[in-house]
């Protein structure tokens, strides 16, 4: 992301910008409760936002204990700005910031483009890990 038109900040974006970005990528389940989403962003241990002029076009947020684990919670890029290296740049920055942590994990959709993106950043799908057998467990609304 070498485009001089973009600015990056760790400042909490305003509510309307957040809602627009999350809705633009189809994550309306989050924007149904904007108060909770904003609390989540505010409570994140790592937050980077990308703006084109005054418009929020991407963000990444992680939660971490700062020592042993970091969890990538959200990586969003407005569809009109995808395929420009913005998501990659944000993810690389988060990985570098948390390089000292033993684990860096995320949960993502089962879509080939998602898999290819994260594998291109040297992240390994747990079901393909050669040396370890790990399982993920979750409690989420609607999960049976």
Q: What percent of the chain has pLDDT over 90?
A: 76
Instruction: Determine, yes or no, domain membership for 1.
Output: no
Q: Is residue 137 part of a domain?
A: no
Evaluate whether residue 144 is within a structural domain: no
Tell me which residue of 46, 40, 3, 2 sits closest to 18, measured CA to CA: 40
Q: Would residue 138 count as lying in a domain?
A: no
Report the CATH number at residue 39. Answer: 3.40.630.30
73 within some domain: yes
- Structural domain total, the chain: 1
Q: Residue 106 burial by CB count (10 A; 0-12/13-18/19+): exposed, middle or buried?
A: middle
CA neighbor of 74 nearest in space, from 113, 114, 47, 104: 47
Domain extent, residue 97, equals 6-128
| Assigned domain for 143 exists | no
Give dist(CA 137, CA 126) in Å, integer: 12
Tens of pLDDT, residues 83-142: 999 999 999 999 999 999 999 999 988 889 999 999 999 998 887 777 778 888 888 887
Distance of alpha carbon 50 from alpha carbon 56, whole angstroms? 6
Q: pTM of the full predicted structure?
A: 0.90
Domain for residue 33, yes or no?
A: yes
Q: Quick check: is 35 in a domain?
A: yes
pLDDT tens string 99-109: 999 999 999 88
């Amino acid at each position: 992301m070498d485009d001089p038109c973009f600015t990056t900040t760790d400042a909490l974006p305003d509510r309307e910008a957040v809602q627009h970005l999350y809705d633009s990528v189809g994550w309306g389940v989050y924007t149904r409760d904007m108060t909770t989403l904003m609390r989540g962003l505010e409570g994140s241990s790592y937050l980077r936002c990308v703006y084109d002029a005054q418009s929020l076009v991407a963000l990444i947020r992680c939660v971490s204990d700062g020592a042993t684990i970091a969890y990538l919670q959200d990586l969003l890029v407005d569809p009109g700005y995808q395929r420009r290296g913005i998501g990659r740049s944000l993810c690389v920055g988060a990985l570098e910031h948390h390089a000292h942590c033993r684990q860096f994990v995320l949960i993502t959709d089962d879509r080939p483009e998602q898999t290819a993106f994260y594998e291109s950043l040297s992240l390994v799908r747990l079901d393909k890990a050669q040396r370890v057998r790990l399982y993920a467990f979750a409690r989420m609304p609607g999960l049976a």
